[in-house]
Structure 1
């Protein structure tokens, strides 16, 4: 939200207060409290009729400093709140005549006690960012609303990334972003997954600890500052030190949560019925038979919305007209070696028998007068499950447990963004704060059920909406995109932005959701999709089986699916890094090469794990430009080498993809090409890329059961040798 009219003036109807002096400093072993009057105090009488802001400094984790800015401290602090880790690290607090400082690890906040308001954040002694005069503001308007904002300086060359899955420009400088979950597709400034956290290439990130709407002005209101604001009397944010982008994400995901383990089978190819298409068991089996007849590896079959009866979504009852024997059908799918996913959402249509049940039990969100909140958007007369009610959570989970008993293995947790604010929640949660946070409760309810019924490590979602903490509940997909090259590129930007926000696993609809893909675009999207952490064929009003596009699409799908299956030892290693440190499997280039200025703005290519550079072909014709960082890079399949750092232009057929192996890589390749859930260490092969002869390194290959095997690999003339050491 913008408050100013240019640099000097405030917009009509707004009044602003800023810290102008410091009246007192209270230091404890764990923090600092700064009392900051909003005018100069030169005499006793100046303290009268003078509002004062309280700015507190603390540290939940080493290398992380929290700042809380408050006007009135008597305001309510309602639910919900993000679940944060607080390790109570040892901090150093010091006050002298000129400064008050709090140091946590290598990060220091230094408050100037004389002159204009200034707080410097330094990492290892280097200035990262500052809060300067007029950065902290308490704003009121003519309607009686109040806002608190902070502005942190942006250094020359500082880029800002993240703020959730955003489909516009990858670097957020110059943008106004409201963190507010909405169902807006992938072609606008709206987003399904809003995260009030940004990452910079200058050694720090910032997390704003508010689940409600947070408005960011990233070099847009004041072009040299990143501003964030919330409505109310209080603003809390955390400065997170790196110094590297990976270290920032490590600390951020330690604070807000690391991803849960997911099953090996989820890395395989998912095939969907699509959305508005006609289908029944015969249609489903024809797809599966068609995949088998063409030797196309398939791991998961997904039933989209119409597995239930129209006007009954969601009642979790199979449509008897199209699926008269769901248990038998699911058993037959399992006999084919497939896992099964079904579409659900948290909305209960009035026609559903669950509406009456939920209304009578008080499990549906209500209005202030006690009536059930309803509207006709999406489903006629639909209501919303109140996940703040523990009994409603158990009720909802019990309905899903019936599906698990029938043979369902996973759920696509769609929607969760259209959450009203004119309602009353069971636990008294603030409706504004619940709007974004609802998705967390919804996905937690489903994920925790899967873990309880199937076991830890066997739960996996296909979720659309998210906020901070959502990274703990993988996997997420990119939402409703068009079937165009432009939509393919915007989907990639969304995925890279989400990865910059701490999400390790991500997918998208291969071929696009809306419309029917042209053959060449579909084939290019296949390569992109199978070189993502998770891979799904899905559409809206047309099927996504490749032979309905053209026969060459069949060959392309087979090739890249088999390639991904061979890459499983490597991808599983990247997943282990995500579990342990929060580093995403699909990584923006700057995350892996922070010192290479050529990578700072790249949003049409990415690193898959630490060693594979993927540059999807995003336009017709196959002529493609991509950037390689320093060193000798090797095309994964052809073995051709190219030098960096520089841009290259090459032509690629649809059976090729620009996938280059990082210099110095020892790449483990699996022995199975038709499924992801095999013993990755059995008969594993290692390939060396731009490695000097005689070089030795240790490579750890995980196993689906959670164990691992460590090999000592030696590069020799003509190949490599590997010996198990653990």
Structure 2
């Protein structure tokens, strides 16, 4: 392996091929330097420590977004257009690339400087945001309540309960198994006798409606046979239609590296919108982990599994109402991202803030923190008595994030009193909607994150390891409860702050640690007033 001592500039791809010996770059750490980046789902481990084993951007995406970017607390960054491997070894960052040596850019003095420079150079903001409704109203997804039993009756009942319990109407997502087959975009007649009427009714109630889709195609379906004749399906190295194993079994797959296929698929989705009145789509799947780059022959000979994941997200970005869970690059684009499915647990709840701040540092400002209470449906199996405190605290964490999404129904698993608390925080989110929307527009113009790590907002003030509070823009510090209990400490930066109860705190030169009571109906947040 070729070893390179790295000190200065930008990484790129200069024509090297994977057949060459890999390039290893050891980046000697500056005093106190720590690193973020690579995978949104590793946000809870950022800044990385000595325990970080080698991570490979070409093999996995951890069920979430991945970006070939590493950022340092001392104002440096690493970027490469192609996937690479990285690890922490003896306190230094080591990066291996099969394509070209990578180098580190010195952009400034802190994490914020590093991010600003990387964003401007490699994923500049598009100037556009997704639909405003994402930021101003809660979302509702039928996954946890219905899983694979999507049907008209239960969907309408869920929507009516939203209204009955005082939750604001927003975006309504119908999840997996509404369609005849994967690769088909018509509703199952046996479960949806009048899909257009259902969607019209949801619209009349004040919802906008999105449908779950994936890039996979059920084998032996009419769509499979038609698409295979057209040559639109991904092939293996032997030139035969590839069969991919994903979480729902075995399927063929649209070859999204073929522009003709992308245009065809987009037209099928537009036909769905014309026929049923659908507003947009939740674009699931396409993960690097399922695509296994070495096994397939893409239409584009330069493409790999990461390229495929990027093409799927680019298709999503062409719709105003979109949501992605897996993505390669595309920072600054008007794509709604969501954190990967998390368990119903306190441990998973504690992942939300660091993973959300990581999403912002990787260019994905328009991100939703999974589903309230967790999106991993298997963790809800066999639960007889729900931890109501956990669900309420989860709703509070979401309330002052860019987006909040309900799935498990609060009115089914909570007491009336705790259901009302969740409704109150859904209302708080809509009250903050104009401010959150202003931050989204700011992000679209500047690239700056909406949810900001404390170290990003207040560098070199002792916030490196802070994972349980965040800044919403530059005006609000939010400190939710992410563990059981009714008391926590908050680290306030210098400035004058007024909390949600009206109490004012003046902090001078150094951050000040305060203890505060947090009854179940309270979300502590602090407005910077000076």
TM-score over 0.5 for the alignment? yes
Q: In structure 2, do the counterparts of structure 1 residues 347 and 384 end up closer, same or farther at CA, with 3 Å as the change threshold?
A: same
Pairs within 5 Å for 1:383-402: 383-402=252-271
User: After superposition, where does 1:7-18 map in structure 2 within 5 Å?
Assistant: 16=2
Q: Is 1:278 aligned to residue 153 of structure 2?
A: no
Give the Cα separation in 1 of the matches to 2:363 and 2:494: 26
- Work out whether residues 24 and 97 of structure 2, in 8 Å CA contact, stay in contact via their aligned partners in 1: yes
Q: 2:23 matched to 1:148? A: yes
In 1, the alpha carbon distance for the partners of 2:13 and 2:221 equals 47
C-alpha separation in 1, matches of 2:204 and 2:449: 34
Match of 1:498 in 2: 359
Does the CA-based 8 Å contact 1:347-1:384 persist in structure 2?
yes
Indicate how the Cα distance of structure 1 residues 329 and 182 shifts in structure 2: closer, same or farther if over 3 A, else same: farther
1:173 aligns with 2:49: yes
Q: Secondary structure at the match of 2:53?
A: strand
Could you say which residue in structure 2 is the equivalent of 1:305? 176
Query: Would the aligned equivalents of 1:165 and 1:191 in 2 still touch at CA under 8 Å?
Result: no
Query: What secondary structure sits across from 1:235 in the alignment?
Result: coil
**Which residue is 1:475 aligned to?**
336
Seen in structure 2, the aligned counterparts of structure 1 residues 523 and 397 have a Cα distance that, compared at 3 Å, is same
Distance 1:270 1:68 in 2: 39
Aligned partner of residue 194 in structure 1, secondary structure: strand
Q: Distance in 1 between matches of 2:220 and 2:447?
A: 43
Kept in 2: contact 1:272–1:544 (CA 8 A)? no
Query: Structure 1, residues 643-683: CA drift from partner, whole Å, max 9, x if none?
Result: 4422222221222101111232xxxxxxxxxxxxxxxxxxx
Task: Answer whether contact 2:77 2:114 (CA < 8 A) is retained.
Answer: yes
Residue 419 of structure 1 corresponds to which residue in structure 2? 291
Q: How far has the Cα of 1:180 moved from its partner?
A: 2.8
Shift of 1:375: 3.6
Structure 1 residue 192 displacement after superposition:
2.3
Q: Distance in 1 between matches of 2:12 and 2:143?
A: 47
The answer (yes or no) to whether the contact 2:57–2:68 under 8 Å persists in 1 is: no
**Deviation digits for residues 5-57 of structure 1, max 9, x if unmatched?**
xxxxxxxxxx65668xxxxxxxxxxxxxxxxxxxxxxxxxxxxxxxxxxx998
Corresponding position of 2:459: 594
Q: Report how far residue 444 of structure 1 moved.
A: 0.8
Distance in 2 (CA, whole Å) between partners of 1:654 and 1:440 is 41
Q: 1:18 to 1:559 in 2, by over 3 A?
A: closer
Deviations 1:617-643 (A, max 9, x none): 01112222221112332112x102234
Is the aligned partner of 1:320 residue 2:189? Answer: yes
* Superposed displacement of residue 588, structure 1: 0.4
Query: 1:158-237 counterparts in 2 under 5 A?
Result: 158-167=33-42, 168-174=44-50, 175-180=52-57, 190-210=62-82, 212=83, 214-218=84-88, 220=89, 222-223=90-91, 225-232=92-99, 234-237=100-103
Distance 1:18 1:162, change over 3 A: closer
> Which secondary structure state, in structure 1, belongs to the residue aligned with residue 143 of structure 2?
coil
Residue 244 of structure 1: CA displacement? 4.7
Counterpart selection for 2:440 from 575, 582, 590: 575
Displacement of 1:207 in angstroms is 1.2
- After superposition, give the CA deviation of every residue in 1:100-143 in whole Å (9 maximum; x if it has no partner): xxxxxxxxxxxxxxxxxxxxxxxxxxxxxxxxxxxxxxxxxxxx
Give the drift of 1:394: 1.0
When structure 1 is superposed on structure 2, of 476-485 and 256-265 the one drifting more is 256-265
Normalised by the size of structure 2, how large is the TM-score? 0.90
Deviation at 1:471, TM superposition (A): 4.1
What CA distance in whole angstroms lies between the structure 2 residues aligned with 1:152 and 1:272? 44
Partner of residue 512, structure 1: 374
Give 1:253's aligned residue.
Answer: 119
Partner deviation per Cα, 1:73-93 (whole Å, 9 max, x = no partner)? 7x459xxxxxxxxxxxxxxxx
Quote the residue 2:383 is aligned against: none
Equivalent in the alignment of 1:619: 483
Contact 1:257 1:469 in 2 (8 A): no
Change (3 A) 1:199 1:17: closer
Change in 2 beyond 3 A, CA 1:18/1:612 = closer
**Structure 1: how far apart are the matches of 2:186 and 2:265?**
13
Deviation at 1:238, TM superposition (A): 5.5
RCO higher in structure (CA 8 A, sep ≥6): 2
| Structure 1 moving runs of 4+ over 4 Å | 15-19, 67-70, 181-184
Q: 1:290 to 1:69 in 2, by over 3 A?
A: closer
Select 1:654's aligned residue among 510, 520, 525. 520
Q: What is residue 691 of structure 1 aligned with on the other side? A: none
Of 336, 343, 365 in structure 1, the residue corresponding to residue 234 of structure 2 is 365
Q: Select between 508-517 and 332-341 the one with higher mean Cα deviation.
A: 508-517
**Kept in 1: contact 2:2–2:23 (CA 8 A):** no
1:530/1:561 contact within 8 Å kept: yes
- Correspondence for 1:239: 105
Partner of 2:496: 632
Does the C-alpha gap of structure 1 residues 413 and 394 become closer, same or farther in structure 2, counting only changes over 3 Å?
A: same
Specify the structure having the higher radius of gyration (Cα).
1
Query: Helix, strand or coil: the match of 2:229?
Result: helix
List runs of 5+ in structure 1 lacking aligned partners: 1-14, 20-54, 58-64, 78-143, 185-189, 451-458, 665-726
Provide, for residues 693-722 of structure 1, a one-character-per-residue CA deviation record: whole Å limited to 9, x for no partner. Answer: xxxxxxxxxxxxxxxxxxxxxxxxxxxxxx
Higher strand share: 1
Check whether the contact 1:444–1:473 (CA below 8 A) recurs between aligned residues: no
**8 Å Cα contact 1:274-1:544 kept in structure 2:** no
Match among 308, 317, 339 for residue 438 of structure 1: 308
Q: Residues 586 and 510 from structure 1, CA distance in 2 versus in 1: closer, same or farther, beyond 3 angstroms?
A: same
- Aligned partners of 1:161, 1:615: CA distance in 2, in Å? 22
RMSD of aligned Cα (Å): 2.4
**For residues 593 and 574 of structure 1, do their structure 2 counterparts lie closer, same or farther at Cα, with a shift above 3 Å needed?**
same
**CA offset digits 1:175-198 (Å, max 9, x no partner):** 2342436778xxxxx452221211
TM-score using structure 1 length: 0.66
